[in-house]
Amino acid sequence: MINPKLTINCRGTLLDLTGPVVMAILNINDDSFFPGSRFTDPQLIVEQAGRMLMDGAQILDVGGMSSRPGAPVIEEQVELDRVLPVVELLQQMYPKAIISVDTVRAKVAEKAIEAGASIINDISAGRIDPEMYATVAALQVPYVLMHMQKRPENMQEAPAYEHVVQDVLDFMIREIAILRELGLKDIIVDPGFGFGKSIEHNYDILRSLHVFQMLETPVLAGLSRKSMIYKPLNIKPETALNGTSVLHLAALQQGARILRVHDVAPAMEVIKLFELL
């Protein structure tokens, strides 16, 4: 039975999140923390998107700006020039695909939706562009509300919380109330693993991820190849796939409905085995 609280309307396409789905990361820049996720050539972007969809991804998340620790916020026109042609191309090549755009800017969000995207994924929760909330509410598209302490360029400089799970949960409660007041219907929450959080903070959140279900919105977990995996194991992002799969299972057990991943096929295997459990 479909749970209406776990169904989002992607510009007319209903996405049922009663069971977990995969959001595939498609970085169209040359600065993201995992080199294997970077694509700048249009033909390679189309081919990679096709592989991801064939492997089982239900959402393609297009990002024109890196959000790795220390990354600068790029110029708006640079982001537009990167993102819009790719969204148009993907919409043309894969018209049934659900395209998300990873952006902190209201204008990029608006233009991307016009170009064929149907979800906005904002790491800043409207903190970088104060017009973002009103824009997504007017567009009436699903919005990924993510928690981040500070900004990408300084977020990992001594992150501190009183009680990280409670602090992030309280943040989500406040922001969801604002978005609901503006009339936004479809909200997805992302606690922001690695965004202004120590390794210990990240594991505290993962251990208690189930508490975010009280928000009655789908929960997205962005864990793929992050430092909370490769630093404790003393490895590099390139060899962090096994650890990623382990934490994906933990996130699903804690109620995550969307896994945002670099590697679609392994994530789909985790979901299938989780469902057998």
226 has catalytic annotation: yes
Query: 134 vs 11, 50, 107, 143, CA distance in Å?
Result: 17, 33, 11, 11
Rounded Cα gap, residues 69 and 270, in angstroms: 27
Residue in 96, 226, 231, 236 annotated catalytic: 226
- Maximum distance among all alpha carbons in the chain? 48
260 has catalytic annotation: yes
Q: Helices 241-253 and 264-276: crossing angle, nearest 10°?
A: 40
Rounded Cα gap, residues 17 and 93, in angstroms: 25
State the sign of the Cα–Cα–Cα–Cα dihedral 97, 34, 146, 222: positive
Helix spans in the chain (H): 42-55, 76-93, 106-115, 132-139, 164-181, 199-207, 227-233, 241-253, 264-276
Rounded Cα gap, residues 118 and 12, in angstroms: 9
Residue 111 amino acid letter = K
Residues 6+ apart with CB under 8 A from 71: 31, 65, 152, 153
Coil vs helix vs strand at 204 = helix
> Which residue numbers are catalytic?
226, 260
